[in-house]
Amino acid sequence: MFDLDGTLLDSRGDIVAAINHALLTTGRSPQPAQVIVRLVGDGTRALCARAAKIPEDAPEVEELIRLFLDYYKAHPLDFTRWAKGALEAIEALSSMENMTLGICTNKHRSATEVVLRALGIEDRFGAIVAGGDTKEPKPHAAPLLLAAKQLGATPAAVVMVGDGVQDILCARSAGTWAVGVESGFSTVEALVHAGPDVTVRDLSMLPGIVQRWREPTTKIKLR
């Protein structure tokens, strides 16, 4: 089960452009890219509110969300690139017996669909759970449990792969395995502190780890 932004995709350029468009359009000052990237991960509402430095329940947030999403959906791949090893990992994992891939992201549902469609990969995933599909976003367990249910999998058979602390905490709450991706938006220190089962430098390492976990003789295997 993959997170999207920072895990499968390096989407920071398009996220920064969209949020600064929303800020400028509402008469606010744009934020530096490095500041905005640190705000990514907890969903569109949280991102817009934090970037504007207002509470999430402030009335102005709705307009910021609308402006952000309208711009983002019109420019989903201007700067977005595959994260290192991501496409190869998808191909390798898809070829494994009894392996189904899914996405569990806090990215807004409409933005998620636009990006996956633009990349031509939406049919590669048996489950796609996005921001707004559950009442609570990651790090709450609900999104990941819903994705597992859509796949017909028990949590113990699911591996959550993400670059954010919220991904690891979500996996811990849901009772799944957790792989932290060090090449994403979070710091390595924060990622490790969240307690993943293992971390990888980038997704090129993931298929080998999953394959070893699936071998009956390995000491670290899926529960």
User: Known catalytic residues?
Assistant: 3, 5
Render 78-142 in DSSP notation, one character per residue. SS-EEPTTHHHHHHHHHTSTT---EEEEEEEHHHHHHHHHHHT-GGG-SEEEEETSSSS-TTSSH
What is the C-alpha separation between 22 and 66, in angstroms, rounded? 8
| CA 13 vs CA 115, 173, 181, 223: distances in Å | 14, 31, 19, 38
What is the C-alpha separation between 218 and 223, in angstroms, rounded? 12
Cβ-Cβ contacts under 8 Å for 20 (sequence gap 6 or more): 30, 31, 36
